[in-house]
């Protein structure tokens, strides 16, 4: 292959990648707009556009909002929009973290549960609920701050236990992670037994969801998730080289231990930010990277951004389903989104996997 050919393949590939990302971003925008129509209250689409338009400077004077009820405006701007954006952020964060965990561990089963990160968040949240203290810190409530701290502490605990000298072998990391995960969930179980009045709060928190997410919750987690994902993108090449083996990666100039450390911190940071507002929403971090890998391919430079966007789309659609399931029966019922992600996600994934499992066998 001549240099020109290499260059032209590279440009063809990157332009194809750009196209994929642009299409996915468009799909995400469409999903968000469609999702604004989903819910118990029947709000006509022109009204939704009017309500949104009112928020845009210069445009607000042109819109006659006299016919729009304040209830509908509140539902769109304060209930549905933050909730949909929370779905975007949490889905993106969990999927991106999933790519990083799976890439660092070179293990298809790796997700935020493996490092005990989710369990750490659960312990932190349970403890804060049991304490009964209600306070707000930087716009976050104690339960959210505690979940965040719990998630990060669990990760540091696992990382330090599994360290052998200056290295952190993947095998010890996985085993320590799984042990710490079981240990922490046992603590959650203990706390549930001790909690009598607060039991419901703990159980409901663990089920996960973002029904009543506030704008300030979104502003609070936004920087962590954006910084986490963007920073991780600069390590996509390292992840590709790590996939060839740590030895090879080392010889190709990757500071393996440092890259692993940074990637784990970034993954745990985004996961912690996500679970701090939505509790434990399962399967997104595990499934979406695999799904994307089957469709797009294993190169982390495209896998990471596409997984991030697909994760966002997936979780927003799951949350739509959680709201829409009962609507035909004139019901105000809503399902926990964590149940939807598993109920609809797992069969979909299994079907796709059955068709493409050869690529895994290879």
Partner 1 sequence: MKTKYVIATVVIIVLIASAAFVYVHYQGQTADSGLAALQNLVDDDDYKTILTAYPEKIVSVAPSATEILYAIDAGDKVVAVTDYDNYPYDFAAWVAAGNMTSVGDFTDPNLEVITSLDPDLILASGGVQVESVDTLRDLGYKVLVLDPTNIDGVLKNIELVGNATGKRAEATALVNDITSRITAVENAVANEAKPKVYYEVYYESTSSWTIGAKAWQSELIEIAGGTNIFEDQQIDYYQFQVEALIDRNPDVIVLPASGMGTGQLESLDVVKARPGWDTMNAVQNDRLYQIDSNIIERAGPRVADAIEQFAAFFHP
- Given the complex with partner 1, which of 180 and 272 has the nearer CB atom? 272
Q: In whole angstroms, what is the distance from residue 221 CA to residue 353 CA?
A: 33
Residue 164, strand partner residues: 167
Closest distance to partner 1 from the beta carbon of 277 (Å):
6
Q: In whole angstroms, what is the distance from residue 159 CA to residue 156 CA?
A: 5
| Burial call 165-189: b when 16+ CB within 10 Å, e when fewer | eeebebeebbebbbebbeebbebbe
| Residue 2 touching partner 1 (CB under 8 A) | no
| Residue 196 touching partner 1 (CB under 8 A) | yes
Closest distance to partner 1 from the beta carbon of 91 (Å):
15
Residues 176-195 that bind partner 1 (CB under 8 A): 193
| Residue 214 touching partner 1 (CB under 8 A) | yes
The HSE-up count of residue 119 (CA atoms within 13 Å, CB side) is: 22
Which of 46, 53, 132, 347: binder of partner 1 (CB under 8 A)?
132
CA nearest to 288, candidates 318, 309, 272: 309
- Given the complex with partner 1, which of 166 and 196 has the nearer CB atom? 196
Please choose, out of 36-44, 88-96, 283-291, 305-313, the segment that lies near partner 1 by the rule CB under 8 A: 36-44
* CA 192, 193, 194, 199 torsion-angle sign: positive
Q: Which helix (DSSP H) or strand (DSSP E) does residue 78 occupy?
A: none
| Residue 210 touching partner 1 (CB under 8 A) | yes
Closest distance to partner 1 from the beta carbon of 113 (Å):
18
Q: In whole angstroms, what is the distance from residue 281 CA to residue 93 CA?
A: 12
Q: In whole angstroms, what is the distance from residue 173 CA to residue 140 CA?
A: 31
| Residue 141 touching partner 1 (CB under 8 A) | yes
Q: What DSSP character marks residue 55? A: T
Which pair of structure tokens corresponds to residue 243?
Answer: 């996939």
* Site map (CB under 8 A) of partner 1, residues 40-59, x = contact: xx------------------
- Given the complex with partner 1, which of 12 and 216 has the nearer CB atom? 216
| Residue 65 touching partner 1 (CB under 8 A) | no
| Residue 204 touching partner 1 (CB under 8 A) | yes
- Given the complex with partner 1, which of 22 and 74 has the nearer CB atom? 74
Which of 17, 156, 183, 215: binder of partner 1 (CB under 8 A)?
215
Say if residues 72 and 47 touch (Cβ distance below 8 Å): yes
Which of 87, 116, 208, 305: binder of partner 1 (CB under 8 A)?
208
Burial of 343 (0-12, 13-18, 19+ CB in 10 A): middle
CA nearest to 202, candidates 177, 220, 185: 185
Which of 55, 71, 160, 359: binder of partner 1 (CB under 8 A)?
71
Region for residue 93 given its phi and psi (left: phi exceeds 0; alpha: psi -120 to 50; beta: otherwise):
alpha
- Given the complex with partner 1, which of 15 and 131 has the nearer CB atom? 131
Could you write out the DSSP letters of every residue in 95-120?
HHHHHHHHHHHT-TT-STTTTTHHHH
Which of 252, 333, 350, 351: binder of partner 1 (CB under 8 A)?
333
Residues 270-289 that bind partner 1 (CB under 8 A): 277-279
- Given the complex with partner 1, which of 119 and 281 has the nearer CB atom? 281
Binding residues for partner 1, rule: CB under 8 A, are: 39-41, 70-75, 77-80, 82, 129, 131-134, 141-144, 193, 196-198, 200-201, 204-205, 207-215, 217, 277-279, 323, 330-336
């Amino acid at each position: 292959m001549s240099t020109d050919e290499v260059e032209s393949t590279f440009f063809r590939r990157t332009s194809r990648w750009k196209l994929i990302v642009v299409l996915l971003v468009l799909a995400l925008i469409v999903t968000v707009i469609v999702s604004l129509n989903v819910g118990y209250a029947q709000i006509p689409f022109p009204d939704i556009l009017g309500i949104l338009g009112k928020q845009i400077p210069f445009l607000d004077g042109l819109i006659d909002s006299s016919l729009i009820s304040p209830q509908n405006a509140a539902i769109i701007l304060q209930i549905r929009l933050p909730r949909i954006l929370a779905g975007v952020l949490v889905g993106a964060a969990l999927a991106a973290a999933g790519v990083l965990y799976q890439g660092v561990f070179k293990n298809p089963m790796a997700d935020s549960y493996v490092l005990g990160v989710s369990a750490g968040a659960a312990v932190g949240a349970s403890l804060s609920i049991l304490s009964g203290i209600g306070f707000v810190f930087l716009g976050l409530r104690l339960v959210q701050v505690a979940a965040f701290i719990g998630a990060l502490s669990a990760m540091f605990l696992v990382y330090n236990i599994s360290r052998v000298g200056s290295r952190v072998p993947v095998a010890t990391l996985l085993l320590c992670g799984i042990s710490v995960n079981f240990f922490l969930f046992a603590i959650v179980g203990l706390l549930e037994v001790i909690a009598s009045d607060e039991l419901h709060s703990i159980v409901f928190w663990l089920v996960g969801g973002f029904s009543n997410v506030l704008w300030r919750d979104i502003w609070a987690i936004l920087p962590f998730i954006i910084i986490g994902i963007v920073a991780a993108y600069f390590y996509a090449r390292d992840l590709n080289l790590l996939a060839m083996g740590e030895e090879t990666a080392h010889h190709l100039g990757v500071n393996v231990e440092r890259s692993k450390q940074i990637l784990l911190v970034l993954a745990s940071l985004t996961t912690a930010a996500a679970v701090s507002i939505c509790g434990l929403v399962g399967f997104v971090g595990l499934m979406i990277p695999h799904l994307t890998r089957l469709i797009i391919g294993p190169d982390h430079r495209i896998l990471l951004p596409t997984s991030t966007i697909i994760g966002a789309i997936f979780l927003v659609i799951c949350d739509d389903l959680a709201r829409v399931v009962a609507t035909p029966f004139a019901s105000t019922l809503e399902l926990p989104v964590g149940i939807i992600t598993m109920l609809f996600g797992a069969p979909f994934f299994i079907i796709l996997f059955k068709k493409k499992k050869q690529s895994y066998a290879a």
